[in-house]
Amino acid sequence: MQSVGANAQNRIGDVPALRNKKITAIEVYSAAEVSVAPSGGTMIVAADLPKLGLTVINQETTEEFIRQMPLFNLNPPSNGGLIRAMDPTPVQFEKSYLTVFDTTGLAAAEKVCLNVHYQD
């Protein structure tokens, strides 16, 4: 995350491999499932997942189609293995972001790992 200040919006950034793909589900993982982020950084702890919300922007309409969904809701191990499926939607990840709801215990160096399901 770039910033852990109250109400800070941390952009996800461009993901070239997902450009023009239709997203069908998004999962979030914490240090409880993934010990080290793919980038080598420290993963966010499971207890901090409810402190962040995900907003996802539709590529075609440029509107929010997921708005501030708590990351806890996107973590399958926290929800009985549930993966939240969605209608296939093209996403603008460079405009999508994480919002900080509660700054307690968060560190800017922590990473959030998204697992994105898609179809061509």
Length of the chain: 120
Indicate whether 100 belongs to any domain. Answer: yes
Indicate whether 105 belongs to any domain. Answer: yes
Does residue 75 contact residue 46 with C-beta atoms inside 8 Å?
Answer: yes
Indicate whether 31 belongs to any domain. Answer: yes
Q: Look up the domain containing 49 and give its range.
A: 9-119
Give tens-digit pLDDT for 81-111.
999 899 999 999 999 999 999 888 888 889 9
Return d(Cα 114, Cα 63) in angstroms, integer: 20
Indicate whether 106 belongs to any domain. Answer: yes
Indicate whether 4 belongs to any domain. Answer: no
Indicate whether 76 belongs to any domain. Answer: yes
Q: Is the pTM of this model over 0.85?
A: yes
Indicate whether 3 belongs to any domain. Answer: no
Give tens-digit pLDDT for 36-86.
998 899 999 999 999 999 999 999 999 999 999 999 999 999 989 999 899
Indicate whether 71 belongs to any domain. Answer: yes
pLDDT at 26: 96
Does residue 100 contact residue 7 with C-beta atoms inside 8 Å?
Answer: yes
Give tens-digit pLDDT for 10-33.
999 999 999 999 999 999 999 999
Task: Tell me how far CA of residue 23 lies from CA of 59, 64, 66, in angstroms.
Answer: 11, 14, 12
Considering just the CA atoms, what is the radius of gyration of the chain in Å?
14
